[in-house]
Amino acid sequence: MRIRLSGKSTRKVNGGQTLIDVVIASALGIVVVVAAVSLYRGQRQSFALSADAAGMRDAGTAALLLMSRHIEMAGYVPPDKPSFADFVEPAVFGCTSALPIGHQAASACIPDANGSDGLIVRYADDAVATWPTRAGEPTDCLGQRAGEAGEYTVISNRFFVRTPHGGDTPELYCEGSGAASNKQPIVAGVERLKLRYWISGAAAAADASSIPPADWSNVVAIDLCVQVRGNQRLHATQYLDCDGVVRRGHDGRARQVFMRRIAIRNHASSPI
């Protein structure tokens, strides 16, 4: 006797994916990848801009500090050597959008393509009130020996801005009066100096171009402004320059200005 079982047979369903499933999964994967790349690029750009801003602050602060400490020494003469006063006058001499050259009464200005101001600072060094070498020798703005240990010497430091030959980064330069002195960069990224001078009894500061030769000995303070350029290129940048004018960067780089008023401490009419 045969027994026939009736009913529907069961089949195992295939677990494969349809084309729509593949398309949706691929689209979601692309969205996740694009979001991750965008987040990475945004964080990387944010970090680069923050580092650029920090670099500009460091450069501006360093330039103000280096120049300030020499300007504050302008006109210094050791108390036991009053005759040195004839060799440090005028204690400062500046140029508007030009480079200062020469010494004392023979100082002059030559045009500067960068449009940056220049400054000469003079003082007597006894290797005690300034920054001597380990051997006790007086030094200039580059830290180079400018005289013999235990002797007095006149220091003449020249500050200006220049872009090195073959380079594209402007730098603050100093030319000292040391025996082995030459022009050397001291702060990178500085693209402009702007200086205004306070004459004893004046109601406002003046540009170097408007100061008569006889009045350089009457300068009691200097308004120093340093304009620093960043390294990162942006789509559009605006900045406030040393003259208080809002400008747009022509090369997409960020810029900042740093200002300080420095008193000529060794002048009889100094405000401090």
Per-residue confidence (pLDDT) for residue 2, from 0 to 100: 52
pTM over 0.85: no
What is the rounded distance in angstroms from the CA atom of residue 19 to the CA atom of residue 181?
77
> Distance from CA of residue 237 to its chain's centroid?
18
The DSSP code for 218 is G
The answer on pLDDT for 126 being more than 60 is: yes
Average pLDDT value over all residues in the chain: 83
Q: What percent of the chain has pLDDT over 90?
A: 38
Per-residue confidence (pLDDT) for residue 199, from 0 to 100: 94
What confidence tier does 272 reach under pLDDT thresholds 50, 70, 90? very low
Residues in a beta bridge with 93: 120
Most confident of 113-117, 139-143, 154-158, 195-199: 195-199
Site of tokens 């000529």: 264
The answer on pLDDT for 154 being more than 50 is: yes
> Distance from CA of residue 125 to its chain's centroid?
27
Residues in a beta bridge with 192: 227
Per-residue confidence (pLDDT) for residue 167, from 0 to 100: 81
Does residue 200 contact residue 225 with C-beta atoms inside 8 Å? no
Q: Which two tokens mark 111?
A: 């045009």
> C-alpha angle 56/176/158, rounded to 5°?
60
Q: Where are the chain's structural domains?
A: 47-263
> C-alpha angle 94/98/99, rounded to 5°?
70
Q: Which two tokens mark 146?
A: 């400018």
Site of tokens 């620093």: 228
Write the pLDDT tens digit of every residue in 174-227: 998 866 567 899 999 999 999 999 999 899 999 999 999 989 999 999 999 999
